[in-house]
């Protein structure tokens, strides 16, 4: 799945994030990379112990909680608190795959399986050159560069990279989700079905037999495929 989710942040939320990050002391992005991916990573990151990090992460999590498209596609069980990165001129992240399991900071040792990756763009495409997120999958490679406040969601199983920034600065929030549905094909089926139900509900009453039948199918599939442990 590769899904563009527009306007995850409101204009006010985006402005607040940018103001905080403008004043922040950034650290080395390698601190959250695995042993292999650290060799491919050259960027900056808002330190986890930064006094504003928790508030910014909670702002993004609240935005995700109200976003119907994210919840329909990811079917989230747990989300790693969002991180924030910055690519200045010459910085990049060469092709890599994200760790299959990641710790949740300050959780007493809790870890999650990473099923879904997300990048929430905090700078507009005209503020920097280069910096495209490249997704490599069975269909080839796809470039992603979205407006500030928009997010791309993709399966964590795929290789991906960030192209070198040649002008300006690229800022984003990124995080991983453990889905209640481990299998990406099953998540895609549920997402497609849910979107069809939402479309029908704009044209038919909620007690229409077709809608009730599809909702019944959706929840019965959830019962078969969901893992809530």
Give the residue numbers of the binding site for 2-oxoglutarate: 170
| CA distance linking residue 229 with residue 223, whole number of Å | 13
| CA distance linking residue 166 with residue 128, whole number of Å | 7
Binding residues for Fe cation: 96, 98, 160
User: For residue 91, how far is the Cα from the chain centroid?
Assistant: 21
- Count CA within 13 A, CB hemisphere, residue 124: 5
Binding residues: 96, 98, 160, 170
């Amino acid at each position: 799945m590769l899904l563009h989710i527009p306007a995850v942040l409101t204009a006010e939320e985006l402005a607040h994030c940018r103001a905080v990050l403008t004043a922040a002391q950034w650290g080395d992005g390698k601190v959250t990379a695995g042993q292999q991916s650290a060799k491919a990573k050259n960027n900056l990151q808002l330190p986890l112990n930064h006094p504003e990090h928790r508030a910014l992460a909670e702002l993004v999590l609240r935005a995700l909680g109200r976003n119907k498209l994210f919840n329909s596609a990811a079917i989230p069980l747990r989300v790693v608190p969002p991180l924030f990165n910055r690519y200045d001129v010459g910085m990049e992240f060469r092709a890599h795959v994200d760790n299959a399991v990641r710790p949740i900071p300050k959780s007493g040792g809790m870890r999650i399986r990473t099923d879904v990756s997300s990048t929430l763009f905090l700078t507009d495409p005209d503020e920097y050159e280069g910096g495209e997120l490249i997704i490599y999958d069975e269909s080839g490679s796809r470039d992603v560069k979205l407006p500030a406040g928009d997010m791309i969601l993709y399966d964590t199983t795929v290789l991906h990279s960030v192209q070198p920034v040649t002008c300006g600065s690229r800022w984003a929030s990124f995080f991983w989700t453990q889905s209640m549905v481990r299998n990406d094909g099953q998540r895609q089926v549920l997402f497609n079905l849910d979107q069809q139900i939402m479309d029908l509900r704009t044209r038919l009453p909620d007690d229409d037999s077709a809608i009730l039948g599809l909702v019944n199918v959706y929840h019965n599939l959830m019962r078969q495929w969901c893992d809530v442990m």
